[in-house]
Amino acid sequence: MSARMGKIAESTAKLLSLEGKVAMITGAASGIGRGIALRLAEMGALISVLDIDAKRGEETATEIRSQGGEALFNKCDVRSAADCRRAVETVIEKRSKIDILCNCAGIAIRKDVVDLTEEEWDRVLDVTLKGIYLLSHEVVPHMIRAGGGNIINIGSGWSLKGGPRAAAYCAAKGGAVNLTRAMAIDHGKHNIRVNCVCPGDVDTPMLRSECTQLGEDAQTFMREAANRPLARVGTPDDIANAVLFLASPMSSWITGVALVVDGGGLA
């Protein structure tokens, strides 16, 4: 490698480095959340893995540690204010700070408003939208005291357009984008950046559960999901890389945005 290329590589690594940062990630037991946890750990962050699924959540933390990273798991139902408070207090007690909060937890129930029950509506909104509020409510004061921080919410392509038989999910994800904007306005003065990543169809257990809910053939479902300019379904790594960009110094003047990562699906 030439000296010039070495300098470029060093500069790029510095811009993307999360060395010494503490990152809390919800929904990190599987799918997109797990991918984000692994990527941020790879770039030097200590990861606080939050999920209601204790077995798979601990597996994510164990995998990070096996690769030389630092991680701790906290079982957390993001619908519960008490759970969110305990999770944040645990990290603050052990590490004194939370630099990055990634609100990834979410569920999709594929029904229209006629078929959707009130309990199902509440569950989708509470996990997918209220969870963002509850964790942010606990984390933001610590970020203010620390002089800044970084929040990345996970939205959806359906944050920005409607989708069939997904009324509660579309409502929750649409709310995530506008909540992101409101938080960016409120907390820019505290040096807290708040952004939203809006994935298209990503091959995860959640997407495959939607296939099952709709009673569709899995191969047909995934083939139709790949009908976009880049002609493939996304991977958790695709989304994790976008989150890394927004969590890193490389995006230091970006806040309040909805970054669409969908292979051109909304183009």
Q: Which pLDDT score is estimated for 5?
A: 67
The region of weakest confidence among 28-32, 117-121, 191-195, 215-219 is 215-219
Residue identified by tokens 């479902």 is 221
Q: Which pLDDT score is estimated for 66?
A: 98
The burial class, CB within 10 Å (0-12 / 13-18 / 19+), for 48 is buried
* Catalytic residue check, 133: no
How do 149-154 and 46-51 pair as beta strands? Answer: unpaired
Question: Is residue 267 predicted with pLDDT exceeding 70?
Answer: yes
Q: pLDDT for 67-119, tens place per residue? A: 999 999 999 999 999 999 999 999 999 999 999 999 999 999 999 999 999 99
* From 73, 158, 169, 221, the catalytic residue: 169
Question: Is residue 4 predicted with pLDDT exceeding 80?
Answer: no
Rounded (5°) CA angle 256-258-264:
160
- DSSP output for 7-63: HHHHHHHHHH--TT-EEEEETTTSHHHHHHHHHHHHTT-EEEEEES-HHHHHHHHHH
Q: Which pLDDT score is estimated for 211?
A: 86
- DSSP output for 143-167: HHHHT-EEEEEE--GGGTS--TT-H
Do residues 170 and 129 make contact, with C-beta atoms less than 8 angstroms apart? no
Q: Which pLDDT score is estimated for 148?
A: 98
The region of weakest confidence among 149-153, 176-180, 218-222, 245-249 is 218-222
Which sequence spans correspond to the domains of the chain?
19-199+236-258
pTM, rounded to two decimals? 0.95
Q: pLDDT for 178-212, tens place per residue? A: 999 999 999 999 999 999 999 999 999 999 899 89
Question: Is residue 124 predicted with pLDDT exceeding 70?
Answer: yes
First CA to last CA distance, the chain: 38
Q: Which pLDDT score is estimated for 8?
A: 66
pLDDT band of residue 1 (cuts 50, 70, 90) is: low
Radius of gyration, alpha carbons of the chain = 18
Q: Please give the CATH number for the structural domain made up of 19-199+236-258.
A: 3.40.50.720
Cα–Cα distance, 154 to 254 (Å, whole number):
16
The kind and range of the H/E element at 212 are helix 205-213
Which residues pair with residue 27 across a beta bridge?
none
